[in-house]
Amino acid sequence: SQQGEEDPQALSIQEGENATMNCSYKTSINNLQWYRQNSGRGLVHLILIRSNEREKHSGRLRVTLDTSKKSSSLLITASRAADTASYFCATLEYGNKLVFGAGTILRVKS
Amino acid sequence: ETGVTQSPTHLIKTRGQQVTLRCSSQSGHNTVSWYQQALGQGPQFIFQYYREEENGRGNFPPRFSGLQFPNYSSELNVNALELDDSALYLCASSFQGLNTEAFFGQGTRLTVV
């Protein structure tokens, strides 16, 4: 079973716009991670936010975490066509296993 | 490039057959995890190996088994293949710890016919 849900399931924006994806989860976590996947291939780690952190930045990425609401958001600013991909959030559960959501498909039109 | 390599990249098998998928971990990593990703879904945890021992298992039947070798490379074996086993199989290597990131290979696309 999957931990949570990403919202929206699909997002289509113009190049240069910002993209926001949300993730909800169900259990207590040690950290939450975001990954990108291009064309059904391997996942690329984007950012990890620990349970005691509220916000983290990496380049054009901004991640927030609200443990009281069991939710996280990923913001990609000034999007580019190369950002077109599927984005997954994942939580680290007991046993060091990552539990992924179903993902958000992002399409950036040039 | 993550340094994690998987082979083969694509594979077609017949229902009832057995398959072995291989993964070479990133240098310095002692943990390898395997995930199954069906089309349109997120990856699902199969199991994890740490220092050659199984260190956690997801909701998969015993016909899914694995090995980790002293050089931390790993194999995923699936017996008695079923049509629903068709998926992308992903290997991830990491260093054991709570707040470490996992590095994924490009996956093996298995089709069972």
What distance in Å separates the CA atoms of residue B27 and residue A77, rounded to the nearest whole number?
A: 33
Residue type, A54: R
Q: How far is CA A102 from CA A24, A25, B101, in A?
A: 11, 12, 19
3-state secondary structure at position B103: strand
What distance in Å separates the CA atoms of residue A109 and residue A86, rounded to the nearest whole number?
A: 15
State pLDDT tens for residues A69-92.
999 999 999 999 999 999 999 998
Least CB–CB distance from B56: residue in A30, A95, A101: A95
Question: What DSSP designation does A41 have?
Answer: S
Sign of CA dihedral B4, B5, B9, B12: negative
pLDDT top residue among B26 and A19: A19
Question: Which residues are registered as beta bridge partners of B48?
Answer: B33
State pLDDT tens for residues B40-91.
999 999 999 998 999 899 999 999 999 999 988 999 999 999 999 999 999 9
The chain-wide mean pLDDT, for chain A, equals: 91
- CA A73 from chain centre, in angstroms, equals 7
CB–CB contact B104 A102 (8 Å) = no
Q: Are B85 and B69 in contact (CB under 8 A)?
A: no
CA count, 13 A, side-chain hemisphere, A94: 2
pLDDT at A16: 98
What distance in Å separates the CA atoms of residue A50 and residue A31, rounded to the nearest whole number?
A: 4
Least CB–CB distance from B98: residue in A2, A30, A98: A30
What distance in Å separates the CA atoms of residue A101 and residue B20, rounded to the nearest whole number?
A: 27
Lowest mean pLDDT among A22-26, A97-101, B14-18, B44-48: A97-101
CB–CB contact B99 A31 (8 Å) = yes
What distance in Å separates the CA atoms of residue A107 and residue A55, rounded to the nearest whole number?
A: 25
* Pairing assessment for the beta strands B108-112 and B10-13 based on DSSP bridges: parallel
Chain A interface residues (partner B, CB cutoff 8 A): 1-2, 30-31, 33, 35, 40-45, 48, 50, 88, 90, 92, 95-103
Least CB–CB distance from B90: residue in A2, A43, A92: A43
CB–CB contact A98 B43 (8 Å) = yes
CB–CB contact B42 A41 (8 Å) = no
